[in-house]
Chains A and B, each alone.
Chain A
Amino acid sequence: MNELDHLRTMRSEIPERSPDELALSTGWRPGRRKSRPVRRPRTLPVVLSGVAAVAAAALFLALVVFPGPGTVTVGPATDPSESEVGGSVREVMAPVIEAARSRPVDGDVWHQRLTWAQAWGVGPEDDRYGVYRVYRTEEWSWTGEYDIDTNDFEGEESGLSAQRTNETTWALVDEDHRAAWERDGSPEYWPHDSETGRVEIPTQEEDGEITGPQPGGWGFGLGTVEHPDLRSLPSDPELLEEMLFSVPETEAENSAHQDHLDNEYAVMAENGYADEGARRFSYVSGALSLPYPPEVRAGMYTVLAGLPGVRALGGVTDLSGRDAVGVAYTLSPTARGTFEERILFDSETGGLLSLEQVVVEPAESESDWSEPGDVVGYTLYEEMGWTDDPPF
Chain B
Amino acid sequence: MSPAASRARVPEEAGSDASVVLRSLDDPTDFGEIFRRHAPALHRYVVRRLGRADADDVVAETFHVAFRERHRYDPAYPDARPWLWRIAANLVRGHHRAETRHYRALARTGVDPVLEGHADRVGERVDAASVSASLAGALARLSKGDRDVLLLIAWGELTYEEVASVLGIPVGTVRSRLHRARKRLRTALPTSTTTREEEDR
Contact = CB atoms under 8 A, between A and B. Distances in A.
A62 B64 contact: no
A13 B56 contact: no
A207 B45 CA distance: 28
Contact of B40 (A17, A57, A192, A203): A17
Given A45-B94, A264-B161, A199 B168 contact: yes
B111 interface: no
B193 A1 contact: yes
A206 interface: yes
A163 B176 contact: yes
Interface of A: 1-11, 13-20, 22-31, 33-36, 38-39, 42-45, 53-63, 65, 116, 135, 137, 139, 148-149, 163, 165, 192, 194-195, 197-199, 203-206, 209, 211-212, 214-216, 260, 262-264, 266-267, 269-270, 335
Interface string B82-103: 1100110011011100000000
B59 A194 contact: no
Contact of A11 (B69, B150, B155): B155
Contacts of A3: 135, 182, 185-186, 189, 194
Interface in B130-159: 131-132, 135, 143-146, 150-151, 153-155, 159
Contact of B164 (A24, A39, A56, A63): A63
Given A3-B135, A195-B69, A203 B169 contact: yes
A11 to B, nearest CB: 5
Contact of B170 (A1, A8, A62, A215): A62
Contact of A26 (B4, B56, B179, B189): B56
Given A209-B180, A270-B77, A27 B112 contact: no
The interface size bin for chain B is 35 or more
B74 A55 contact: yes
B78 A262 contact: yes
Nearest to B131: A6
B77 to A, nearest CB: 5
B60 A36 contact: yes
B64 A56 contact: no
Contacts of A215: 199
Interface string B17-41: 0000000100011111001100111
B14 interface: no
Contact of A1 (B155, B167, B194): B194
Contacts of B164: 60, 62-63
Q: Is the interface of B mostly helix, strand, loop or mixed?
A: helix
B43 interface: yes
B67 A10 contact: no
A44 B61 contact: yes
A2 B194 contact: yes
Nearest to B24: A30
Nearest to B125: A13
A29 B74 contact: no
Task: For the complex of A and B, list the 10 residue pairs with the smallest distance between their C-beta atoms, beginning with the closest.
Answer: A55-B72, A199-B168, A26-B60, A23-B6, A211-B176, A3-B185, A23-B5, A2-B197, A19-B36, A30-B31
Contacts of A39: 53
A58 B74 contact: yes
B114 interface: yes
Given A10-B132, A23-B3, A267 B172 contact: no
B170 A6 contact: no
B136 to A, nearest CB: 8
A139 B24 CA distance: 46
7 contacts: A1-B197, A22-B39, A23-B32, A44-B61, A60-B168, A63-B161, A139-B172
A382 B90 CA distance: 32
Contacts of A195: 65, 69
Interface string B161-195: 10011111111110111011010011001000111
Nearest to B97: A43
A10 B1 CA distance: 32
B186 to A, nearest CB: 5
Looking at A3, A7, A197, the one whose CB has the most chain B CB atoms below 10 A away is A3
Given A27-B1, A29-B5, 19 more contacts: A3-B135, A4-B153, A5-B197, A7-B135, A7-B151, A14-B48, A19-B36, A24-B1, A28-B59, A34-B60, A57-B77, A62-B164, A62-B171, A116-B170, A197-B87, A199-B167, A204-B144, A206-B143, A266-B79
